[in-house]
Structure 1
Amino acid sequence: MPSAKSSSDTLAPRERILVAAHALFYQDGIRATGVDKIIDQASVSKVTFYRQYPSKDELIRAYLDYRHGIWMSWFEMSLTQALHAGAAATLALSTTLRTWFSRADFRGCAFLNAAAELGSSNPEILKVVRQHKQEMAAVLDSLLASDGRPVGHALSLVIDGAIVHAQMGQVLDDVMDAFNVTAAAMLQR
């Protein structure tokens, strides 16, 4: 997945704040990241911050929307490239996920993390998470469905399981082996 970092010299304050929040929220967690840390990282004043994002909740929503766009573009492009290169569906999906899981900055799914941190106190977060997962399933259906049989929802559940196990630090080869067996069975039905 590409990095969201850009030169702060070329970004407007709103975008600098969003890029800084993206990095900090994903790396350290949403609750653990205070507004002052984002302000410092974005090199903006407190007044500028609150003009752009009147509340942390608004920034969290913007972060999730931003992350959704970045991640979905990367996911669809990576999966499509692997399929066009001739990889079978299971291998294409496995390769795409392994690439993401192997990144030094991998901290799991930003949406599952947000749901775990804030879902019980902010139902709007759960709506955003569900929408992200539905759109991921739609991409899987569009690229991997065979004989018109949808596979996206079931595959997304297996992907989420693999994400959690990779995030917990389980041996990546073991995670991917289990994922491949399950995904292959689902795609062959």
Structure 2
Amino acid sequence: MTAADRLFYAHGVHAVGMDAVRAAAEVSLKRIYQLFPSKDDLVIGVLHHRTEQWTTGLEAAVGAATTPRGRLLAVFDYLDAWFREDDFRGCAFINSFGELGASSPAVADVVRTQKATFQAQLRERARAAGLPDAVGAQLAILAEGAQTTAAISGDPAAAGQARDAAELLIDAALARRV
């Protein structure tokens, strides 16, 4: 799983053959196919693993914040740290959807589920801050856009720009509430 994740993330799913995964994992193709009957199954396994990593990292970052507003903004601080990693290549879910979304309904479903879960988490955090659900959805769009922008531009500043926009959005929504 780790070898496939590393290879798919660095080179793309289509560019990586199962033989390359076998070599990097140092296991036989027979064993890989026992665990993952198809390449799509392996991609889905990698995406489930990525979901766990994303959730664990994000929850740690958000959990360190002391206010509901701070927990919303911590999402963008988490993105900033991630965008600065040497191997950052964008969102593995977006990348996988771009490559396989049209040809693999199963991969598309996993990606859609992850994105819907992230949006639901932000809606819940927005509610905890006394904000309407729509703000959570809007913050998710800012986060997703920052991921894509940082990957394409190679500039991690997209996280800070999205954080600034998030602060304006949160403050405007709080002002409307009064």
Structure 1 CA distance for aligned equivalents of residues 28 and 144 of structure 2? 38
- Please tell me whether the aligned partners of residues 120 and 136 of structure 2 are also in contact (alpha carbons under 8 angstroms): yes
Match of 1:165 in 2: 149
Q: Structure 1 unaligned segments of length 5 or more: list them.
A: 1-17
Deviations 1:70-126 (A, max 9, x none): 111111211221x13898356423321100111111111110001101111112222
2:24 partner amino acid: Q
Inter-partner Cα distance in structure 2 for 1:186 and 1:115 = 28
C-alpha distance in 2, partners of 1:104/1:47? 33
Distance in 2, Cα, partners of 1:68 & 1:129 = 9
Distance in 2 (CA, whole Å) between partners of 1:120 and 1:126 is 8
Q: Is 1:56 the counterpart of 2:39 in the alignment?
A: yes
Number of residues paired by the alignment?
Answer: 170
Secondary structure of residue in 2 paired with 1:30:
coil
TM-score (norm 2): 0.86
5 Å-filtered alignment, 1:39-118, equals 39-81=22-64, 83-84=65-66, 88-89=70-71, 91-118=73-100
- Mapped pair 1:153 → 2:140: no
Paired with 2:68 and 2:140, the residues of 1 have a C-alpha distance of 22
1:28 aligns with 2:11: yes
Change in CA separation of 1:41 and 1:171 when aligned onto 2, cut-off 3 Å? closer
**Whole-angstrom distance in 2 between the partners of 1:123 and 1:86:** 36
- Structure scoring higher RCO (CA < 8 A, sep ≥ 6) equals 2
1:180 correspondence with 2:151: no
Cα gap change, 1:62/1:76 in structure 2, threshold over 3 Å: closer, same or farther? same
CA displacement 1:18-57 (0-9 Å, x = unmatched): 1111111111111111100100111111221222211111
Cα RMSD (Å) of the superposition?
Answer: 2.0
Structure 2: 5+ residue runs without aligned partners? 174-178
Is 1:131 the counterpart of 2:116? The answer is: no
Partner of 1:12: none
Tell me the amino acid that sits aligned with residue 39 of structure 1. Answer: R
